[in-house]
Amino acid sequence: MNKIEKAQKRIHAMLIVSIITLFTLGIWGIKYKIEENRENVKIEEEKKREEIERVNKYFRENHNYYLQKISEAVSIAPRQISVNELKHPEYFLVEEDGLTYTNGMDYFSFHSKEKAIGIWNKLNAEEHGEYILISQSIIRIPNNNEKEEKILKVAQSYFENSE
């Protein structure tokens, strides 16, 4: 084998090593991003849970209402609304003595005020009148129920002044 062939083989070997190194670094980078995303999801879920607890505590202590998690066994039709994030409520805000899914207010919690505002801003003008932004949550205002509408507006004011 002459010098040119040896040099070509060395270059070829270096190229293969470089490709394998880049591939390995790429795999590690992807793995790191996946782990980072998982951690971010955990943090967001924890913040969302804290918001649910905070709102639930406020309504229990001040208005005799609480958040009722909607059982997966209960089939609820998707809401007719332009924003996908508000089609399927996970909770209803219900009166302590009103333990049915038929009279609850749809409740949607988010991990941050910015996320809630972003979703709120997607609503069209008509939908803005049907929902209220309270802290990091969006709640559907019940039709023709002045008592509950007033309670929601008081809660909105409370959270705006406490943040």
Domain extents in the chain = 46-162
> DSSP labels for 39-108?
HHHHHHHHHHHHHHHHHHHHHHHHHSEEEEEPPTTS--PPP--S-GGGSS-SEEEEETT---TTSPEEEE
49-68 pLDDT, tens per residue? 999 999 999 999 999 999 98
* Identity of residue 77: A
User: What predicted TM-score, i.e. pTM, was given to this entire model?
Assistant: 0.75
Given pLDDT bands bounded at 50, 70 and 90, which one contains residue 36?
confident
Looking up tokens 């996908």, which residue turns up? Answer: 84
Q: What's the confidence (pLDDT) of residue 98? A: 61
Evaluate whether 67 touches 90 at the Cβ level (below 8 Å).
Answer: no
State pLDDT tens for residues 69-124: 887 767 777 888 889 899 989 899 988 876 555 568 999 999 999 999 999 999 99
> Is the distance from CB of 135 to CB of 159 less than 8 angstroms?
yes
